[in-house]
Amino acid sequence: MATNKVTVEGTPSQPSLAKHDCAVLDLAFAMDCTGSMGQYIDTARTNIRAIVEQIVSSEKSDVHLALVEYRDHPPQDPSFVTRPHDFTASVSTMKSWLDGCSAQGGGDSPEAVADALHDMLKLSWRENATKICVLVSDAPPHGLAPHGDGFPNGCPAGLDPMDIVRQLAAKGITLYSVGCEPDINPYKEFFTAIAYLTGGQYIPLRGAKALTQVIIGGAQEEISLERWMAEVDEEVQREISMGNQINDDEMTRRVQAKMDSKGIRGKKLQRNNFDLEAASASSKKLAEFTNMEDVRSNFSASAMAPSMGSGMASAMAPSMGSGMASAMAPSMGSGMASAMAPSMGSGMARPRGSARARFAAVPSSAPMMSMGASGMATPPGMATGEADTWDTVESNISYGQAARMVQKSKSRNNYK
């Protein structure tokens, strides 16, 4: 019987495991390779070996790696739209791809996100693997917000990211949207929505240094949750077979209670000792739309505030116009508090990256607290943009994890 091996110099290779074993991991990266992304590419290149070695060591995983580099369509960028590299078991090969990856160009603000996700569909994913796509980006897809978009009607190749992400979810591919803040902040709701569709997570990243731990922790969490997906599928399929409409909250509580009764524990990626924020109501609303045209029509309020930084409180909502503004306020992350709202003027857009100086300018002694999704206050130091800490802990399956597992099961069974 043939075996697949992970080639990590100095580390014993791991044979492929039996079919449906969750320790078989296909880990693919969709990497924005435009001019603003250099530090993230450098971090991935420098640490890819350590990432794989730690996953292999901790999870006894058979890991395959893939990479899709993306920039933009001409005339915005004449170099390339995407450059896909299909799965390999060799870390050295993956590193060589990253060695050839550079941050250049980009043209207008949006990039070829839809094209990169479409290339993800065409990779050689193994049927029995835990499948994770890590999308690292600081810019939206075309067709989301019309201002500064060379292709305001969407991807010029006619690719719709909402349709593509649903196909990813149906294939069992979990999307982690790593948002490079502060530039990604105006589009956070969209990137959260597409991750939510697949049962994945939005990861707010304030600097490249944490990318390594985020990738390792996210992979460990997904592997640990995949072990129990059969339990979730059983509950979802029972409800479907009875012809009942699935109530997400009720199903999530039932799944969580079942896990608790069996003493099931899983790994969890945490930021500053708190669970990551769950998808907000506005993100879930965006996830209901099946095409970018409808998403764009319901995204105008959130698109008015580029580079605002994460965590501005609801005091900003009145200046953001009508629509989704009020729904956005509680979901904008743990960062700058409401005391900053007056300094932002009317909430109108600024050029990408211009929030960096303002974000760092808040005095660390400012007595500000912001509320995360869990209702817990963020320490004042974290509200000023100090470096986040990332850890992976083991605990009982949380409500948020159970909710993501339910969403995965629904997507894989094509059930709404």
- Domains in the chain, ordered, with CATH? 24-226 (3.40.50.410)
pLDDT at res. 104? 86
Q: What one-character DSSP code corresponds to residue 1?
A: -
Distance CA 319, CA 298 (A): 17
Report which secondary-structure segment, H or E, holds 66: strand 62-70
pLDDT at res. 329? 40
**Tokens 């769950």, residue located:** 278
Assess contact for 373 and 334: CB atoms under 8 A: no
Distance CA 288, CA 85 (A): 31
Report which secondary-structure segment, H or E, holds 13: none
Residue type, 358: R
Assess contact for 162 and 173: CB atoms under 8 A: no
Distance CA 87, CA 70 (A): 17
The sign of the CA dihedral 401, 139, 102, 72 is positive
Model confidence pLDDT, tens digit, residues 41-80: 999 999 999 999 999 988 888 999 999 999 999 999 999 9
pLDDT at res. 142? 95
pLDDT at res. 416? 64
Phi first, then psi: what are they for 262, rounded to 5°?
-95, 0
Task: Pick out the chain residues at pLDDT < 70.
Answer: 1-21, 300-386, 416
Start-end of H helices in 171-322: 188-197, 211-226, 229-241, 248-261, 281-288, 292-297
pLDDT at res. 384? 37
By C-alpha distance, which of 128, 112, 15 is closest to 70?
A: 112
Distance CA 97, CA 106 (A): 20
Distance CA 362, CA 385 (A): 8
Q: Rounded to 5 degrees, what angle do the CA atoms 377, 383, 388 make?
A: 95
